[in-house]
Chain A
């Protein structure tokens, strides 16, 4: 991961003819996954926009291929400097308003905004005082850590200078991404959640429901009118639909009978295999660490796992034991020994639940080219892993049949 303060005003080099100017700003898509799409480079007061596809590297040097520049902005694209840096954001988890001191950029699998730094170190970094001051404070036993908020945990107060009025809950919610919205909703009572869901159109409601945790999904659908339930079930991912239906034994049949024929067939097919419990396949050997742990500390932890039969990923959990990220062993070996884990972790973790049919676990392992999936409970606490080896046997059984 790279800090924006390390990039701003750095020279942008062309792979062929010298310097193009200095980096003034980054443009990214504020919705879905916050992917960086363009670079704003200024030279003698003139600024030009370079698409990210021309970028060869951002760190340690910014190098771009020559080519056409000045692409227009598309919908939902916003600027780091203009719209995020130094602005106020809502810390959704902490439920308070904070100011962005620095922006954290992730370079794998593609350039995207990982989150923001709201702490003292974020301020000091702009003055190049981060290291001297933190080593000075360490002399007194004070350990300053970055206060990092991931993109999913924040909501910019102003996007494109269009004001988002906080007092009007629904207006603010419309600006949120569905998964963030789900996080935000999980703080409310189930009664309030269903009220908010009632206000949404089917498309948004389905996306939000999909990201709620299973307990909430269960209570929500137990009280929701059948017509609406069916509409939402039809729109959510079939994998999720199966998880939801399994948690609603009394209404399962009723809902299934009203689904469209294609959808119904697909879901019934998946449901058939739900008898195989993930729990039976689960390994309980896994390694966890905290986001602020240093790479060297985690490497030390890895060295103590001689008895593990499988170790490809280290899972990052917060102090409430919620799964918040994952680091693979390769990345851990490549990273600087003193970097904090959150700088190298991937915050989007592909997971399964205990009730997830084995079919779906297999599909997810193959689709995301992973070697193991964490099994989590309703509170996002890790229960164990399903590794590729674990599912090899059931996979064979199905192939032979």
Chain B
């Protein structure tokens, strides 16, 4: 009995040491922009779109694992490695792109938050600034451990989507079959949408964030095995939630052929078919997603800045020691909120631009991951296997071609509803 307890304790210590980076990054990938994209895709293609979830899970799993492994073995973030190996000019260029792309994603999240507040009838001019202030005080004022637990607690609220899906009374058998068996002939339109879904799940900022966060958490090499599983579990759970988001929309919005354009509209459209409670749960999920995204994405930029330019950047130190880090975090959410609160702000254009930029940027990041993960100088005996390389490069190519074709399609074919 005593032996058993000791073993349990060891397991708990290991869990505490590794849980966080993989799960938090993966769930933040399902941010407000993600919820919007999933809802739109599901409302357009029904059960057929669920097939894309399996390959997306694999790509997320592969890229995040490589990022986590690089961070654990080298004890460095992606920004550190790019600066040290590719020098100052490349660093300035990559950071400028990251800042731009991330700002687009922050705008998506803040406007997601804005519409979620709207759904609950809360005054956005009061609650959005209040959210920003709370976020900043939380991140800058509290210790690393508490901030991490806070993020993990937020993730629990994603389960609202599960209940929302159940209340929508979907055809579970068809949903399960569609996951593994393609029920739809892939059209060009369908492919565009799949790439958009992939692009909102696998993100450039996510790659930077998982590295920085693992470095900040100081996970040691002997925990690599466990950390890997944490990343896998994070990716699986995240896509499980994506599955429920889509199912909830399919069973209501798609079934009744309603046209929606974002996550908030999806929440509203659910109401007449699944009841107000399901709608509220969905809207609450959107709120949590927007909140998590608005916290994590600017944090990813701030981390990357510290790494590229050598400022002290860690959640683990007090405000005055990491002033640049925290101020950069604050500036992004304040500037984003001001833009989002302006009446002429167009979410549609921003979403379009942010998704496209991310799609163009991600292959570049995948190139760096490929170079670092195969460099024995950095990785020692933990370099990539051949399979990992094929999968990594394959997803890089797919994202690049997809986002290029996707943008052209959106600009010139102007097919309505394509995400």
Contacts of A126 in B (CB 8 A): 88-89
**0/1 string, A85-125, CB within 8 A of B gives 1:** 11110000000111111000000000000000010000100
Residue A140, interface by CB 8 Å: no
- Complex CA gap A88/B313 in Å reads 13
Interface residue B171 (Cβ < 8 Å from any Cβ of A): no
Q: A123: which of B80, B84, B92, B377 is its contact (CB, 8 Å)?
A: B92
- Measured CB to CB, the closest approach of chain A to B231, in angstroms, equals 24
In the complex, what's the smallest C-beta–C-beta distance from B304 to chain A, in angstroms? 13
Flag if A98 contacts B89 (CB, 8 Å). Answer: no
CA distance A99 to B92 in the complex (A): 14
Chain B interface, DSSP helix/strand/loop, else mixed: helix
| The residue from A96, A101, A118, A161 contacting B88, defined by CB atoms under 8 A apart | A101
Contact of A99 among B309, B321, B377 (CB under 8 A): B309
Asked if A368 is at the interface (CB within 8 A of a chain B CB), the reply is no
Q: How many residues of chain A get a CB closer than 8 Å to chain B's CBs? A: 15
Whether B169 sits at the interface, judged by CB under 8 Å, is no
CA distance A109 to B80 in the complex (A): 35
- B312 contacts A97, C-beta separation under 8 Å: yes
Give the chain B neighbours of A99 by CB distance below 8 A.
83, 309-310
The answer to whether A118 touches B310, judged by C-beta atoms less than 8 angstroms apart, is yes
Using CB atoms, name the residue of chain A closest to B310.
A99
- Could you tell me the distance in whole angstroms from the C-beta of A70 to the nearest C-beta in chain B? 24
Q: Contact string, B253-295, partner A, CB cutoff 8 A, digits 1/0?
A: 0000000000000000000000000000000000000000000
A213 vs B126: C-alpha distance in the bound complex, in angstroms? 59
A86 x B87 contact (CB < 8 A): yes
In the complex, A87→B310 CA distance in Å?
9
A150 vs chain B, min Cβ distance (A) = 17
- How many Å lie between the Cα of A12 and that of B81 in the bound state? 30
Q: Which residues of A contact B89 (CB under 8 A)?
A: 126-127
Find chain B residues with CB under 8 A from A87 CB. 84
User: Chain B's nearest CB lies how many Å from the CB of A146?
Assistant: 15
0 or 1 for each of B84-117: is its CB under 8 Å from A? (1 = yes): 1001110110000000000000000000000000
One of B83, B309, B312, B377 near A161 (C-beta < 8 A)? B377
Q: Give the shortest distance, in Å, between A148 (CB) and chain B (any CB).
A: 15
Residue of B nearest to A87 (CB): B84
- Bound CA–CA A47/B235 (angstroms): 47
Q: Are A123 and B88 in contact (CB-based, < 8 A)?
A: yes
Q: Judge whether A96 and B309 touch: CB under 8 Å.
A: no
Query: With A and B bound together, what is the CA distance between A88 and B377 in angstroms?
Result: 17
CB interface residues, B 66-92, toward A, < 8 Å: 80, 83-84, 87-89, 91-92
Alpha-carbon distance between A82 and B377 when the two chains are bound, in angstroms: 13
**Across-interface contacts of A97 in B (CB, < 8 A):** 310, 312
A118 vs B88: C-alpha distance when bound (angstroms): 12
**A270 CB, nearest partner CB in chain B, Å:** 47
- Minimum C-beta distance from B212 to chain A (A): 14
B81 to nearest A CB, angstroms? 11
Closest to B84 in A: A86
CB-CB under 8 A from B87, the residues of chain A are 85-86
Q: Would you give the 0/1 interface string for A222-242, flagging 1 where the beta carbon is closer than 8 Å to chain B?
A: 000000000000000000000
Task: Report the minimal beta-carbon distance from B378 to chain A, rounded to whole angstroms.
Answer: 10
5 nearest CB pairs, A to B = A99-B310, A98-B310, A126-B88, A86-B83, A86-B84
- 7 additional A-B residue pairs with CB within 8 Å, beyond A99-B310, A123-B309: A86-B87, A86-B88, A97-B310, A101-B309, A118-B310, A123-B88, A127-B92
A–B Cβ pairs within 8 angstroms, 28 of them: A86-B83, A86-B84, A86-B88, A86-B91, A87-B84, A88-B80, A88-B310, A96-B312, A96-B321, A97-B310, A97-B312, A98-B310, A98-B311, A99-B83, A99-B309, A99-B310, A100-B310, A101-B88, A101-B309, A101-B310, A118-B310, A123-B88, A123-B92, A123-B309, A126-B88, A126-B89, A127-B92, A161-B377
